[in-house]
Structure 1
């Protein structure tokens, strides 16, 4: 069994003290600063300035020395970043932002009232002949449910949360206060 030394070196460099490679989105490479935790987006042709944003130039030069015949002394470093990011796969910047907003909104909600069935209570705030408007115990927004029947329902906002949300039960506010 033989090992490709370039793969072993790249795997060792991918876990370093300065940054973590997160992936790419086609035209940009994403890295996380080890110290601050912030995500850096390197877009376009990589330059020495861009590389210096994530690790000291001495680190790049020590780990990726210039090879004879190369015009740019950081060609190996740039190639490493691009190839390693593509090995990590796609980094969905917008999806991560949506999940973060949803998580923050969920965390800001008060603990839901639990019904006798063990489900969180979605309190009816407005009622018509054809539907209910309820206050969601998960996101705090008002959702509309057709067929004005009390009971268990799937939350409209469940698609916004990773892993989904449990069902909730539609209850009138006066019923919830009596429990």
Structure 2
């Protein structure tokens, strides 16, 4: 999941627009996204996905800290931080799947679900969208919506919870790919 493009993250009532470059390292089991925010400068988000089968993914970097701080300081911080954890774990599991599916003989996925450790990710394709749904331990679902599918891959990834209690779209990440590998 290396690439570049533009993105938008909506947290509660705040929206941040950015451009990004990302790279994934199979050896280090980390995905890094360098983010350039107009008038703020460059920040880094690192997603360590090596333990997604057991303990989950870990977010680090100043962009991750910016997101965490925005969510933590809100009255509904418990639900908000749950969204961030589901985002990190789901993205880590998708990167893990991408790596394991490239191995010959991988039996990670079936007709409508993929297994990472003890967790099932449900997937479906409808109207040029690949949906991957990940339920957390409380049953709340984070959707990873890969859209505008082409032979070179998707042009857009939208990540959002299906059940958003605070308000519609209180947590949403969108990545628009100029290049995706």
TM-score strictly above 0.5? no
More strand by share: 2
Q: Larger Rg: 1 or 2?
A: 1
Please classify the TM superposition score into its range, dividing by the shorter chain length: under 0.3
User: So what's the TM-score if we normalise by structure 1?
Assistant: 0.25
Q: Using CA pairs under 8 Å that are at least 6 residues apart, name the structure with larger relative contact order, 1 or 2.
A: 2
More helix by share: 1
